[in-house]
A and B are shown apart, each in its own frame.
Chain A
């Protein structure tokens, strides 16, 4: 269970980054003198920029990410009209990370209340507070693009959720822009990981792998505000299979497009699913020129899979897996900050071609 040591806390009004950094060092020193079994985690800095009124909600989300906690979190809560910086620093000792190990991991949380006037130079406030020599991840869930731009040179990784952009075009555009300066971890992409894994798995046996070259139809259902999830999925297939993507067109509330594959054209359709309550994909169906179809839909205990082979024989099963929930997705985003997935950038490139 996470425990905040009441003594390991400091707060000040109208303060400065230098004072905050000094206070943090003092807290760590005092804690070490009190308990030498406490070791500061040194994995990842997470800098989060949020609207002041929603900071509690974001802090709660970060509490629920499970085992993937950053080691130092710097939360910048932006309050309109504020001219000074207030700060709270807390050390959290989590002794359930390594049960029985005898050490307790310390994580540091700095909450800064600051104003809009600080955003353009946010890097000068955050820079003294990040742990050097470990990766820094920046996340700005409530917009504030100028804050992201200011922090980009401090960070190696940017966490985004393309579902939050107004439309798929602006989502792809923003992700590509950010990718020029940092590695981008996109929660919209991570929500699709089980779907990509399962499709890859279905086509893995040699007899099915041959069918990859015969794919002629891809239908993706998504929550109505998650078209980007469908675009990224199609972009992934296109980038892996070497399709040349044509533009998406609107029609009957759906989006349609064509891709040129080596042997034939592929028709792809993105269909909003009003019944889907969580962001991301609701179902995927892939058909081949030889008459085979495979489908995956959300279901209890995993993904409900169905397949029709060339002879028309149908088969249904469940691909086991628990829903990660939005907290789990965020935790996965934090974990992915330390890994590199080359497939995303390529999928993004094909997605851009679909949205020309």
Chain B
């Protein structure tokens, strides 16, 4: 048994480890993310008894409303979006610990009031609460808020920890991300900064680490000698809905490739970390990003969807979507070919593709193995032997499938591929928690494993920035297009090598 001086001896066997009493401050507390995700996530943590034993929440936003109105608004959000019906008593007790600070994020008086509220919570409890500042605002406010926290001495406090969670997007170009890092790190230590990529909070994304590093059978073949190529797909069947303002300025490359898809790539390609400490894992991910050369222009395809049929209904094209400028050149689809130039992966093409209004919603990684070197069977009368393919699906049917060649019953030796499938839902009793619940708890706990580090985010942008640079100089002529409800533009086929093909969406 650990000595009393070394560790808390009471925690052994407990699933939920103690978290220091915390005050969570949500900047943008009346915004859409707080409304649909953050407040319901906080409630669900409270319901399960997972919050720190003492917990307060302060929302900061522009709307000039009193505490009571904000509590009513928070109650409504939780009742509407919680993944379980709220327990009235828990919700009442949680809302008792909620306060609201109105005002603009560049207004010093807001931070004076915030400081006062934080101190009141500390004084009332007779302890110093940890502070988690959650920046759920427009990106332009990230440096403003961090700067004001520094000016008001809120960036650190004696006897407790101060952490800052920053929502995506973290910059829109490399220089912007680097500037933002510089501004943030002028006030905070990197260990205090938690850059959100909510994809990493998804159970099935984390399962990739377990899949790769808890199973000895894959490691011997996880390299250029056995793997022919990899496809990472994040396809969405929906259009842009009411997000035209954001989406038209971002596009598919910034929206999904720069962050989520590169995260999947690094988890797929990273070397085993020595431990699962945050920095050990992130060191390995950054090494992968550093080994990726930015793609040449002919290794990238972008396109826009045009009118077509989706889910049996007519769907308008991107340029006809509400709020989209008629001359927009924003890509709704992007496919690219990358290579990781290191000993494990050199020469293995890794194809990424993502898009809106594609035939189906699916996020998956497909690893195609090299074909067998010699085939003793006749293939006549069958689809023949296909290379083995290992597919890890993040959504919708989370799981892993492996295609194998098998003999078709009968007198002749005819082969066709069959699937060996593992479906996540069939093998576990519980549903995955919401990604935000996991990430909020990790931030309160100070575990940054599932958050993006400064050098990681800049390494991501180093790969993406040259593509944006190239596109910014190519402003003439129409973009390639694809009809809504299809698998994407034909031009994407040109990225593939002979004998390779895109998986059906």
Contact = CB atoms under 8 A, between A and B. Distances in A.
Contacts of B89: 300-302, 322
B9 A201 contact: no
Contact of A203 (B10, B52, B423): B10
A110 to B, nearest CB: 19
Interface in A33-54: 39-44
Contacts of A39: 423, 425-426
A204 B49 contact: no
Counting contact residues on chain B (CB < 8 A from A), the size range is: 35 or more
A221 to B, nearest CB: 20
B429 A338 contact: yes
A256 interface: no
Interface in A1-51: 39-44
Interface stretch (A95-103, A118-126, A247-255): A95-103
Interface stretch (B11-19, B112-120, B217-225): B11-19
Interface string A172-188: 00000000000000000
A105 B13 contact: no
A27 to B, nearest CB: 17
Nearest to A202: B53
Interface residues of A, number: 60
Given A302-B49, A321-B48, A103 B126 contact: no
Nearest to B431: A67
B6 to A, nearest CB: 10
Given A97-B425, A212-B9, A315 B126 contact: yes
Contacts of A67: 429-431
Interface stretch (B90-98, B262-270, B382-390, B472-480): B90-98
B10 A196 contact: yes
B93 A320 contact: yes
A105 to B, nearest CB: 6
Given A69-B429, A321-B90, A199 B49 contact: no
A266 to B, nearest CB: 14
Q: B8, B46, B397: which has the most chain A beta carbons within 10 Å?
A: B8
Interface stretch (A79-87, A153-161, A340-348): A340-348
B1 interface: yes
Contact of A302 (B4, B14, B90, B431): B90
B425 A199 contact: no
Given A42-B426, A313-B126, A322 B14 contact: no
B221 to A, nearest CB: 25
Contacts of B87: 301, 322-323
A142 interface: no
Contacts of B9: 212, 240-241
A208 to B, nearest CB: 9
A317 B56 CA distance: 11
Given A302-B93, A320-B46, A103 B397 contact: yes
B75 to A, nearest CB: 14
24 contacts: A39-B425, A67-B431, A69-B429, A101-B425, A103-B397, A197-B16, A203-B8, A204-B18, A204-B20, A240-B1, A240-B9, A242-B1, A301-B89, A301-B90, A301-B93, A301-B94, A315-B125, A320-B47, A320-B94, A321-B90, A322-B47, A322-B49, A342-B13, A343-B14
